[in-house]
Amino acid sequence: MTIARLVRRAGQAWVLVVLAAAPLAAQAPDHADSAASDSAAPAVRTRVTGYLEHQFNASRSRGRWTQLDHDRLRADLVARAGRGVRLEAAAVWQLYRGDTRIPLRSQLPAALGSLVDTASLVIEDRHFVNHAYLVLSPGGVEITAGKQYLTWGAAWVFNPTELFRPKDLFEPTYEREGVGALSARLPLGALSDVLVAYVPDGPFRTSGKVARARHHVAGFDVSALAAAVYEQPAATPAGAASTPSRRLVLGGDLSGEVLGLGVWAEGTWNDFAGDRWAEATLGGNYTLPDRTLLLVEGYFNGRGRPGDPYPAAAWLARLAGERRSLGRFVAYVAANRPVREVWRLGVGALVNPGDGSAALVPSVAWEFAENVELIANGLVSIGADGTEYGRGGVGGFVRGRVYF
């Protein structure tokens, strides 16, 4: 092998120190380091980590201040019991204090408040298993059994292909619970695989079934998804019981670069209880020379309305996390940059141009010690009562978290 061929794909030497990403695809035998020829296959080991978090939340809406305080302890366990066998689990204890009974009418437009009368949303202490699953990889197929992460979608905030756990739009990167499921993944290459998942929920007929394939083509990560999940039609103010209906979902996403910009797109076509609609997200990012990251994402919701007023069922469905938006078009824009060493400033905004409402979410993070995070988030609602983001008032939270 010639030297020229050896260096055909050589990289910058100092990068190797970081990634140990040694340049070059192949190597003559005389380049082998015989002093270390044993396998670097991952060893059996167990790791326990976690954090303790305290958060104080205060908000003012319709002339009334409320506070909500919580402690959250999370413990994560990862254990590998030999090659091809792994288990992961996390337990969470979360204790609330303060105004733990929130009148539903405070979450709805004044015109709809009378529909829910004195009903309240009660926030109770929680002790739960965030995820607990076993992964077995016999013969190349990866089988995962237990409460596992089934989170999909290339978009940052609005993920139409995410079927099981609604995202907190005001804090889209916050952790979410797993979903009890049995899944199997068949690898078809380094960046390609096919996944099928069965999500037990009631009898077999009403349990969720999902198939998802992903591939890397022409520089883009591409996936396609087909699912049948059973959901209750959106709750009604009368609270009438209803049977789950099948929701068929066909969708997919892609992410990659266009003209040097990171871009992503995600969409679904849905058929649920006689209602058919599409959802789509398109987004991109840009970094200024001072490392300020700008992010823009637009979301089309075929079930949404071009503007207010929105029906009561839609409000309740959004409150339950079943809808990502009330409006047909909403957008998320954000800017984020490091400032003065261990500080990071950001501002995000959810905007509904159809009804002229917006929610501004300024944030500041201060990592004043290793394994410690201090985060303050604000919320300022702009818009009239009855608009999508106009009724949230003002508020925010301060959260301190210590990892162990």
Q: Does 241 bind other proteins (CB under 8 A)?
A: no
Closest separation in Å from C-beta 166 to other proteins: 14
List the one residue from 55, 59, 161, 255 that touches other proteins (CB under 8 A). Answer: 255
Of residues 296 and 319, the one with the C-beta less far from other proteins: 296
Of residues 130 and 206, the one with the C-beta less far from other proteins: 130
Within 8 A by CB and 6+ apart from 118, the residues are 103
Amino acid of residue 262: G
Q: Does 183 bind other proteins (CB under 8 A)?
A: no
User: Which residues is 256 bridged to in the sheet?
Assistant: 263
List the one residue from 86, 105, 212, 318 that touches other proteins (CB under 8 A). Answer: 86
Closest separation in Å from C-beta 192 to other proteins: 8
Of 394, 289, 370, the closest CA to residue 58 belongs to: 394
List the one residue from 135, 169, 280, 326 that touches other proteins (CB under 8 A). Answer: 135
Of residues 100 and 130, the one with the C-beta less far from other proteins: 130
Of residues 232 and 285, the one with the C-beta less far from other proteins: 285
Of residues 29 and 63, the one with the C-beta less far from other proteins: 29
List the one residue from 15, 81, 110, 211 that touches other proteins (CB under 8 A). Answer: 15
List the one residue from 34, 203, 204, 241 that touches other proteins (CB under 8 A). Answer: 34
**Residue with structure tokens 């959802």?**
279
Number of CB atoms found within 10 A of residue 108's CB: 22
CA–CA gap between residue 318 and residue 206 (Å, rounded): 22
List the one residue from 70, 185, 212, 391 that touches other proteins (CB under 8 A). Answer: 185
Residues 363-392 binding other proteins (CB under 8 A) are: 367-368, 370-371, 373
Of residues 233 and 284, the one with the C-beta less far from other proteins: 284
Residues 306-335 binding other proteins (CB under 8 A) are: none
Within 8 A by CB and 6+ apart from 394, the residues are 59, 60, 378, 379, 380, 381
* Strand residue runs (E) in 200-318: 208-217, 220-231, 245-258, 261-272, 275-287, 293-301
Rounded to the nearest 5°, which phi and psi values hold at 304?
-75, 170
Q: Does 39 bind other proteins (CB under 8 A)?
A: yes
* Token pair for 173: 């990167």
Candidates 58-66, 147-155, 350-358, 379-387 — which segment interacts with other proteins by CB under 8 A? 147-155
CA dihedral 88, 208, 310, 157 (to 10 degrees): 30
* Residue 189 C-alpha from the chain's centroid: 25
